[in-house]
A and B are shown apart, each in its own frame.
Chain A
Amino acid sequence: MEIKVVRKVLDVNDTLAEQNRKLFAENNIFVLNVMSSPGSGKTATLVKTIHQLMPEIRTAVIVGDVSTTHDAVRLATTGVPVTQVNTDAFGGDCHLAAHVISKAVEDFSLQNIDFLIVENVGNLVCPAEFDIGEDAKAVILSVTEGEDKPLKYPSIFVKAELMIMSKVDLLPYVPFDAELAKSNAKLVHPGIQIIETSSKGDGLDQWTKWLEEKLAAVKSGELVSA
Chain B
Amino acid sequence: MHEMGIAMQVVEIAVASIPEALKSVRVKSVRLKIGRLSSVVPDSLRFCFDIVSKESAIAGAVLEIEEIPVTAVCKACGNRWTIEGPAFSCPQCGQGSIQLTSGQELDIASIEIEEDE
Give chain A's interface residues, CB within 8 Å of chain B.
1-10, 12, 91, 93-95, 123, 125-126, 128-129, 150-151, 154-155, 158, 184, 186-191
Nearest CB in chain A to that of B41: its residue: A125
B10 and A5 contacting across the interface, CB-CB below 8 Å: no
B9 interface contact, C-beta 8 A: yes
Is residue B100 contacting chain A, with contact meaning CB distance below 8 A?
yes
A-B contact pairs, 24 of them (CB 8 A): A1-B112, A2-B113, A5-B13, A5-B14, A5-B108, A5-B110, A6-B110, A7-B17, A7-B108, A8-B108, A9-B6, A9-B32, A93-B2, A94-B1, A128-B39, A129-B2, A150-B86, A151-B86, A155-B39, A158-B100, A187-B89, A190-B89, A190-B95, A190-B96
Interface set of B (CB-CB < 8 Å, partner A): 1-2, 4-6, 9-10, 13-14, 17-19, 32, 37-40, 86-89, 95-98, 100, 106-113, 115
- Taking CB atoms, residues of chain B closer than 8 Å to A158 are 37, 88, 100
Q: Known contacts A93-B5, A129-B39, A155-B37; decide if A6 and B89 are in contact (CB<8 Å).
A: no
Q: Is there contact, CB below 8 Å, between A190 and B88?
A: yes
Main secondary structure of the interface of A (DSSP, over half): mixed
Closest A residue to B25 by beta carbon equals A1
Report whether A10 and B106 are in contact in the complex, using a CB–CB cutoff of 8 Å: yes
> A8 CA to B108 CA in the complex, in Å?
6
Contact B100 A9 (CB under 8 A): no
B37: A residues at CB distance < 8 A: 154-155, 158
The reply to whether A188 and B39 contact each other, CB–CB distance below 8 Å, is no
The residue from B14, B87, B111 contacting A187, defined by CB atoms under 8 A apart: B87
Contact A5 B9 (CB under 8 A): no
Q: Shortest CB–CB separation between residue A194 and chain B, in angstroms? A: 13
Q: A3-B113, A94-B2, A188-B88 are in contact. Are A8 and B39 (CB under 8 A)?
A: no
Closest to B45 in A: A9
Contact B108 A6 (CB under 8 A): yes
List 9 extra interface pairs beyond A9-B13, A126-B1, CB under 8 A: A7-B108, A9-B6, A9-B9, A9-B32, A129-B38, A154-B37, A155-B39, A189-B88, A190-B89
Q: Specify which chain B residues have a CB less than 8 angstroms from the CB of A187 in the assembled complex.
A: 86-89
Q: Which chain B residues border A94 with CB–CB below 8 Å?
A: 1-2
The winner among B9, B86, B96, B98 for most chain A CB atoms within 10 A is B86
A189 to B97, alpha carbons, bound, how many Å?
9
**Known A-B contacts A93-B2, A95-B2, A186-B96; A4 and B109 likewise in contact (beta carbons under 8 Å):** yes
